[in-house]
Amino acid sequence: MDKNYITVDIEGLNPEKFINLAVINGLTLWNIERLSITNMRFNMNEKDFKRLRHIAKKTNCRAKIIRKNGVIFLFRRLYRRMFFIVGIVLFVLLIYFFSNIIWNIEIYGNKIVSEELIIKSLNKAGLKVGTYKKKVNLRDVENSLLKDIKELSMVTISLDGTKAKVEIVERTMPPTIMDFEKPTNIVAAKDGILTKVIALKGQKLVKEGDFVKKGQILISGVIKDSQNIPIDTTRALGEVYAKTWYESIKEVPLKYRYFERTGKYEKFVYLILPNNKIVNLRSNINKFQFYDKIIEKEQLKLLGIKSPVIKATEYYYEKIEKIKDLSYSEAIEIATKLADEQLMKMLPKDVRILDRKYDKILMKDKVKVRKLILTEEKISKEEDIK
């Protein structure tokens, strides 16, 4: 008997009659079991079930499929869920396909050579994000990378899943040789009072305690004799330190005018095309009298790829002018704050602060604050002699 069969339950007053009728009609039944007086269970071929209906009507029985056995039913069910199966297959295929693509490149061990340069060189050699793993010959890429970038002494590329690890050992390059023949002067980069002059080579023209102006030659590369006749030119070497100062004077009237944002703002968005043309998405007419304007520019990205179009957003924050009567102490506080802010912007990073001075002048309708910072810093700067 067939491997693909169904198990059927019948219920009726005379199930024997049902079976006789079925047999006479040429059906084959097997494993008939009596469950109770009214119930019987048997197996039969699935395709004969249609004929069973008709018999059941005649004998006043009810037939019900209990179980479907066999592979064909499984296939039939799967066929009905075909797109589900197609989806699973597609999913597996896609996973396999995408796992064979290099998705990111990581570079280890570079100190001097920039990552961009290495990536550019890798791309030239054929290792890119998105290339098929099997297409890349790693040894070839390593060799061409070594040829391309001279600073590298060893490159090892290994694939770890979808990641390409590029390990780099840099060559220690010989130091750049200073050209001592090139004639240069050392000049002052700033005004100041000299505190320390160290001349290694060249003719010293200033001494400690001198006041120098910006651009003044401190150590000359032109060596002259006592009669001021140039004998030789050289590259001047040396370091010069000087006392410098940073000053900020702020005046604040007692009737203090200031601006305050009202909280209202307007936003305009427009696009800047590569040829600097501006495409307005909305008309932008600013109607505020006083305002702060902030422009944010952002390169538009399409699917993670930078496009040449720049999206600019202009924000206009409305301000209103306010006048406040200040007491002297309040005015001084504001002026000091303003002066401090200005000084912070002016002060370079590598200076030594020697002294601070702070003067307050009270006048009839305003205050004046003067802040002075005395510093010591290196002011020497090389300059070519023409």
Q: What letter would DSSP give residue 70?
A: S
Q: Is the dihedral of CA 105, 111, 113, 114 positive or negative?
A: positive
> Residues 4, 7, 12, 29: which binds other proteins (CB under 8 A)?
29
Q: Radius of gyration of the chain from Cα atoms? A: 45
Segment near other proteins (CB under 8 A), from 17-25, 79-87, 255-263, 326-334?
A: 17-25
Question: Which residue's CB is nearer to other proteins, number 30 or number 290?
Answer: 30
Say if CB 272 and CB 312 are below 8 A apart: yes
**Which residue(s) pair with 248 in the sheet?**
371
Looking at 8, 40, 186, 379, which residue binds other proteins (CB under 8 A)?
40
Per CB under 8 A, does 115 bind other proteins?
no
Q: Assess 30 for contact with other proteins (CB under 8 A).
A: yes
Spatial separation of the C-alpha atoms in residues 151 and 172, rounded to whole Å: 8
3-class secondary structure, 351: coil
Let me know the angle formed at the C-alpha of 241 by 239 and 244, rounded to the nearest 5 degrees. 150
- Contact segment (CB under 8 A) with other proteins among 32-40, 131-139, 163-171, 267-275 equals 32-40
Give yes or no for residue 34 binding other proteins (CB under 8 A): yes
236 is a contact residue toward other proteins (CB under 8 A): no
DSSP character at residue 167: E
CB of 54 to other proteins, least distance (A): 17
Q: Is 20 in the site for other proteins (CB under 8 A)?
A: yes
Q: Which is nearer to other proteins, 43 or 248 (CB)?
A: 43
Q: Are 155 and 118 in contact (CB under 8 A)?
A: no
Q: Which stretch binds other proteins (CB under 8 A): 29-37, 121-129, 160-168, 277-285?
A: 29-37
Q: Which C-beta is closer to other proteins: that of 39 or that of 203?
A: 39
- 49 close to 8: Cβ distance less than 8 angstroms: yes
Per the CB < 8 A criterion, the answer to whether 152 and 113 are in contact is yes
Please report the DSSP string for 251-300 in residue order. EEESEEEEEEEEEEEEEEEEEE-TTS-EEESS------SEEEEEEEEEEE
Provide the minimum distance between the beta carbon of 59 and other proteins in the complex, in angstroms, as a whole number: 12
Distances (CA, A) of 232 to 184, 199, 224: 12, 17, 7
- Rule CB under 8 A: say whether 326 interacts with other proteins: no
The yes or no reply on residue 19 touching other proteins (CB under 8 A) is yes
The binder of other proteins chosen from 23, 66, 90, 354 (CB under 8 A): 23
Nearer to other proteins, 42 or 316 (CB): 42
Among 5, 42, 291, 316, binds other proteins (CB under 8 A): 42
Token output for 89? 């297959």
Which 8-state DSSP code applies to residue 25?
Answer: T
Which DSSP category does 174 fall into?
P
According to the binding rule CB under 8 A, does residue 5 interact with other proteins?
Answer: no
Asked whether position 10 contacts other proteins by CB under 8 A, the answer is: no
* 252 interacts with other proteins by CB under 8 A: no
Q: How many residues bind other proteins (CB under 8 A)?
A: 17
Q: Choose the binding region for other proteins from 31-39, 143-151, 219-227, 319-327 (rule: CB under 8 A).
A: 31-39
- Out of 7, 11, 32, 38, the residue judged to bind other proteins by CB under 8 A: 32
> Could you count the other beta carbons within 10 Å of the beta carbon of residue 253?
13
28 or 153, CB closer to other proteins? 28
H/E stretch holding 52 reads: helix 49-58
Kindly list the residues in this chain that would bind other proteins in the complex (CB under 8 A).
Answer: 1, 15-16, 19-20, 23-24, 26, 28-34, 40, 42
